[in-house]
Amino acid sequence: MSITTTAHITTTTISQTAQWRALQEHHLAMESAHLRDLFAADAGRGASFTAEHDGIYLDYSKQRITAETLDLLAELAEAAGLGEAIEAMFAGAPINSTEDRAVLHTALRRPRGDVLSVAGQDVMPQIHGVLDRMAEFAEQVRGGHWLGFTGRRIRTVVNIGIGGSDLGPAMACRALVDFADPDLEMRFVSNVDGGDITEALGGLDPHETLFIVSSKTFGTIETLTNAETARGWLLAAIADPAAVRSHFVAVSTNTAAVAEFGIAEANMFEFWDWVGGRYSLPSAIGLSLMISIGPAQFQDFLAGAHSMDQHFRSAPLTQNLPVLLALLGIWNRNFLGAQTHAVLPYDHRLAAFPGYLQQLDMESNGKSVDRGGNPVDIDTAPIVWGAPGTNGQHAFFQLLHQGTTLTPCDFIGILRPAHELDNHHDLLMANFFAQTQALAFGKTAAQALGDGVAPEQVPHRTFPGNQPTSTILVDKLTPHALGELVALYEHKVFTQGWIWGVGSFDQWGVELGKTLANQILDQLQGTAAPDAPVLDSSTAALVTRYTAAERVGVGG
Ligand code: F6P
């Protein structure tokens, strides 16, 4: 049975291929394999199950695999037509089939002068045109030449956006804080919870504040509500509607909606419907990042992503970093039965990276029908989560070591930190290496007894081990390296989605909640039409309790 690899549709499921069955059989043979034995049998394992590209080193020897597992997984990727799919994506074929769109975030980081024709039009000039406008604007803000309405220089930039219009730039600004302009503060507002914008505006001077309203659609209610509140806050201090022009810019694909909000087209930075929200950090959605680190460093970030793109496109499957991460994830998810996947950066600057990956992975591949609309018969995206080490060690690592849930992990470490506290870094990295060691090899009852543990304590003091981990070592957390990491995970997600047969680039699953929220808002505000849908008994009772509390003013 063959997989159709034309851009639009997959006509059969990967689980019906001979390659999938071969992996199932192989899994039966591997079921009792313990990492202790795999390492004991092969002294070179730690060196051979590795791959490297441009300052990013991957050690996957602590995954429960053998060379045969890897070969079988690579054959699976070939059976799914991964190579053709990669080329289709890079060439701008409409692989986002439910929205009939190309998927071209990779074009955003292609060098000036490249030609990429989509539907008969070269998209590269418009990409670099917007990058040039962004750079000019960023330099004006950074240089103090972009002035607020009353002639003061901008000191704080507030990005208003949510999902892909927030998580990427917020994560990246935090990760690249060592490259940031110290005279500019970057803040991010995403939640419609009024507490978020209240906190973000706290202590700010409206005369010195610039808002970037970031929304692909410019129709997202949370973002528009926050933007209106910000505009009201500005105009309360500067009672002239013309002030909006000096204090608001927009990033969007929707020129008409931006104009309707009152932001001039000259203050809008464009991107295109072939850039998915969660893939939009390298587009104008990265404007806050560019203002923070400067256009040259932003170019380095793009160059890093491009470097990983080239690697993804050209490296053999078993040396291809995104493909390896994807295949190991499929092995863990579909054959070892892992429900979850943890990402554990041992660098505080990457604290927001797991949250960013949650959207990237779970909004892309959290699907239960395939690209043809048929129910899938295999598990798709795992639950992705994580937190920086060493904090996590004192919170949830207990479950990783001795719990009942198999949790494969990516450990991400940085070889050279930006600070000079070498003793801290040695301690951090000693913990980093120790955790993957403990998770892989555990501690047997005999070892515990040998350590002098009292026999009745032995069950509590043994560690099963055999917990699969990958270790990713990054030379230094530069803009280039962050670009590589972003592209690494983007392509991992794409590879998995392609092999599972799901469409990774739409997100219909978020729509129902939005529709229902609008209906309930009408109920809360007493504007529901007489023929509005009747609420279920639980929701109706909760709404009644809320509206009653609002009337009496809960909490005084
Ligand atoms: O939550 C759904 C979603 O459409 C995400 O995919 C997107 O990143 C986010 O909302 C924000 O959308 P927009 O940029 O259009 O405001």
Calculate how far, in angstroms, residue 215's C-alpha sits from the geometric centre of ligand 1.
7
For the cut 70, the answer to whether the pLDDT of residue 128 exceeds it is: yes
Angle at 87 between CA 85 and CA 90, to 5 degrees: 110
In degrees and rounded to multiples of 5, residue 82 shows phi and psi of -60, -45
Q: Among residues of the chain, what percentage have pLDDT more than 70? A: 97
Q: pLDDT tens digits for 326-335?
A: 999 999 999 9
Asked about 185 being catalytic, the answer comes back as no
Q: pLDDT tens digits for 76-89?
A: 999 999 999 999 99
Nearest to 165, CA basis, from 65, 312, 9, 283: 283
- List the beta strands (DSSP E) in 62-151: 117-118, 121-122
Of 145, 424, 476, 514, catalytic? 514
Q: pLDDT tens digits for 258-312?
A: 999 999 999 999 999 999 999 999 999 999 999 999 999 999 999 999 999 999 9
Calculate how far, in angstroms, residue 511's C-alpha sits from the geometric centre of ligand 1.
10
What is the rounded distance in angstroms from the CA atom of residue 194 to the CA atom of residue 230? 11
Which tokens sit at 470?
């990958």
Of 222, 270, 363, 484, catalytic? 363
Calculate how far, in angstroms, residue 525's C-alpha sits from the geometric centre of ligand 1.
25
Query: Which residues, other chains included, contact 520 with Cβ-Cβ below 8 Å and sequence gap of 6+?
Result: 535, 539, 543
| Per-residue model confidence (pLDDT) at position 5 | 45
For the cut 90, the answer to whether the pLDDT of residue 397 exceeds it is: yes
| Per-residue model confidence (pLDDT) at position 2 | 38
What is the rounded distance in angstroms from the CA atom of residue 479 to the CA atom of residue 304? 7
Which tokens sit at 261?
């909000």
**DSSP H stretches of helix in 272-391:** 287-293, 295-314, 321-330, 353-358, 364-365
From residue 551, how far is each of 112, 351, 371, 545, 546 by CA, in Å? Answer: 59, 40, 48, 10, 9
Residue whose CB lies within 8 A of the most ligand 1 atoms, among 171, 190, 220, 283, for a mutation test: 220
Q: pLDDT tens digits for 482-538?
A: 999 999 999 999 999 999 999 999 999 999 999 999 999 999 999 999 999 999 999
Burial class of residue 260 (count of CB atoms within 10 Å of its CB; 0-12, 13-18, 19+): exposed
For the cut 80, the answer to whether the pLDDT of residue 7 exceeds it is: no
Calculate how far, in angstroms, residue 92's C-alpha sits from the geometric centre of ligand 1.
22
DSSP of 345-376: EESGGGTTHHHHHHIIIIIHH--SB-TTSPBP
Query: Which residues, other chains included, contact 187 with Cβ-Cβ below 8 Å and sequence gap of 6+?
Result: 156, 157, 158, 159, 200, 204
Which tokens sit at 520?
């309930």
Residue 270, strand partner residues: 252
Which residues line the pocket of ligand 1, CB cutoff 6 A?
162-165, 215-217, 220, 223, 277-278, 363, 507, 510
**What average pLDDT does range 373-395 have in this prediction?**
97
Ligand 1 atom, smallest distance to 222 CA:
16
pTM over 0.85, yes/no: yes
Nearest to 436, CA basis, from 105, 183, 59, 32: 59
| Per-residue model confidence (pLDDT) at position 118 | 87
Cβ–Cβ < 8 Å for 382, 366 = no
| Per-residue model confidence (pLDDT) at position 119 | 84
Order across the sheet with 383-385: list the strands.
50-53, 56-59, 469-476, 409-416, 340-346, 383-385
Burial class of residue 229 (count of CB atoms within 10 Å of its CB; 0-12, 13-18, 19+): middle
Single-letter amino acid, residue 307: S
At 353, is the pLDDT very low, low, confident or very high (cuts 50, 70, 90)? Answer: very high
For the cut 50, the answer to whether the pLDDT of residue 237 exceeds it is: yes
| Per-residue model confidence (pLDDT) at position 21 | 98
Q: Among residues of the chain, what percentage have pLDDT more than 90? A: 95
What is the rounded distance in angstroms from the CA atom of residue 169 to the CA atom of residue 356? 9
In degrees and rounded to multiples of 5, residue 107 shows phi and psi of -65, -30
Asked about 26 being catalytic, the answer comes back as no
Q: pLDDT tens digits for 359-370?
A: 999 999 999 999
Biggest CA–CA distance in the chain, Å, is 78
For residue 404, what is the DSSP state? Answer: S
User: Which residue's entry shows tokens 């000191």?
Assistant: 155
Alpha-carbon dihedral sign for residues 62, 67, 69, 72:
positive
Cβ–Cβ < 8 Å for 415, 57 = no
- List the beta strands (DSSP E) in 386-530: 409-416, 469-476
3-state DSSP assignment of residue 466: coil
Asked about 363 being catalytic, the answer comes back as yes
Residue whose CB lies within 8 A of the most ligand 1 atoms, among 251, 510, 511, 514, for a mutation test: 510
Burial class of residue 422 (count of CB atoms within 10 Å of its CB; 0-12, 13-18, 19+): exposed
Nearest to 387, CA basis, from 419, 350, 424: 350
For the cut 70, the answer to whether the pLDDT of residue 555 exceeds it is: no
3-state DSSP assignment of residue 543: helix
**What average pLDDT does range 428-456 have in this prediction?**
98
Cβ–Cβ < 8 Å for 64, 409 = no
Q: Strand 56-59 to strand 50-53: parallel, antiparallel, or no bridges (unpaired)?
A: antiparallel
What is the rounded distance in angstroms from the CA atom of residue 27 to the CA atom of residue 411? 24
Nearest to 247, CA basis, from 296, 203, 204, 284: 204
- List the beta strands (DSSP E) in 386-466: 409-416
DSSP of 198-220: HHHHTT--GGGEEEEEE-SSS--
**What average pLDDT does range 382-398 have in this prediction?**
97
